[in-house]
Amino acid sequence: MTDIKTLKDVMFKAADAAAAIQLEYFETDFEIGRKRDYSDLVTEVDKKCEAKIIEIIHDAFPGHNVLGEEGGDQHKTSDYVWIVDPIDGTVNYAHSVPVFCVSIAVEYKGEVILGIVYSPKTNEKFYAEKGGGAFLNHKQLKVSDIDLLKDSLLVTGFPYGAKDNFDHCIDHFVNFVKLGLPIRRLGSAALDICYLAAGRFEGFWEVNLNAWDVAAGYLILLEAGGKVTNFEGGKYSVYDKQILATNGKTVHSEMIEVLKKAYL
């Protein structure tokens, strides 16, 4: 196994480089394209960030795989996979909304062992090492102590194509709203999960996310004392399409009960 400190140093270097590119191009004129869904944007900055991240990773570890939102490089046979979202919150970025980040995780033999989520506009760097705790700018993170759903602040997002109510995404939202709960939608799943790890939210749910949206945040939340499952409370993988993440208190089981309603 590669030395964990070396992996971490490269992860930080890649995140710093991508964040610098994001800040350089933010609120400037840059090329914006669309993916399969009309609202799913990709910018030239996404591509520049991912190319720089891959360059830094492969300079240090030429045999490692990279799973990136804009393609990555999955042609290696390594036990290591770097899971990369060059800009999580691209729509925000393209509209000059300062809620976006770079997210990088390191997976070894199918297990996430390192993760970083860096929000350059707020200068907040969330990171974790498996078994080593989670941190925000060197301060250790801990989830909130709020126990009950009725006292919670929740956060969520909608998948592209939400107009078709994919996996009851609209129904889930309505069911939580009907409880009179405060709910936020920031536009970056990676930051949603990190804010949960920092005690700013108590619960997060979403459908149809990809590994690059959640892998780093998933480890950061677990290391901060949180809990992540599927909607039924079962074992979660970053490759799953349903995620329920909470501070691990009673709110988790209460949210499961609300999520169940859409399938009755």
Q: What is the mean pLDDT of residues 236-251?
A: 97
User: Which pLDDT belongs to residue 159?
Assistant: 85
Is residue 153 packed enough to be buried (19+ CB in 10 Å), middle (13-18) or exposed (0-12)?
A: middle
Whole-model pTM?
Answer: 0.95
Q: Is 247 in contact with 193 (CB distance < 8 Å)?
A: no
* pLDDT at residue 148 tops 70: yes
State the Cα–Cα distance between residues 104 and 61, nearest whole angstrom. Answer: 15
Distance of CA 97 to the CA centre of its chain: 18
CB atoms within 10 A of CB 244: 21
Write out the DSSP string of 14-53: HHHHHHHHHHHHTTS---EEE-SSTT-EEEHHHHHHHHHH
Structural tokens at position 14: 């890649």
Residues of the chain with pLDDT > 70, as a percent, come to 96
pLDDT band at residue 164 using 50, 70 and 90 as cut-offs: confident
Q: 127: pLDDT confidence band, cut at 50, 70 and 90?
A: very high
Q: Read off the pLDDT of each residue in 221-233 and give the average, rounded to a whole number.
A: 98
What is residue 216's predicted lDDT score, i.e. its pLDDT?
98
Give the span between the Cα atoms of 244 and 221, in whole angstroms.
12
Span 163-181, average pLDDT: 93
User: What single letter denotes the amino acid at residue 109?
Assistant: K
What's the whole-number mean pLDDT along residues 216-234?
98
Mean of all residue pLDDT scores within the chain = 94
Each domain of the chain, given as residue ranges in start order, spans 4-140, 149-263
Does residue 76 contact residue 63 with C-beta atoms inside 8 Å? yes
- Residue 14 binned pLDDT confidence (cut-offs 50, 70, 90): very high
- Tens digits of residue pLDDT in 73-98: 666 789 999 999 999 999 999 999 99
Which whole number is the average pLDDT over 214-242?
98
Of the candidate CATH numbers 3.40.50.970, 3.40.50.300, 3.40.1380.10, 3.40.190.80, the domain formed by 149-263 belongs to 3.40.190.80
Range in 114-123, 158-167, 201-210 the model is least confident about: 158-167
- Report DSSP letters for 193-222, one per residue: HHHHHTTS-SEEEEES--HHHHHHHHHHHH
Neighbours of 155 (CB within 10 A): 24
> CATH fold of 4-140, please?
Fructose-1,6-Bisphosphatase; Chain A, domain 1 (3.30.540)
pLDDT for 35 equals 64
Does residue 221 have a pLDDT over 80? yes
Those residues with Cβ within 8 angstroms of residue 143's Cβ, 6 or more apart along the chain or in another chain: 196, 197, 199, 221, 224, 225, 226, 247, 248
Residue-wise pLDDT tens digits, 20-61: 999 999 999 888 887 666 656 678 999 999 999 999 999 999
Give me the pLDDT at residue 120, please: 98
Mean pLDDT of 157-169: 86
Amino acid at 42: V
- Residues of the chain with pLDDT > 90, as a percent, come to 86
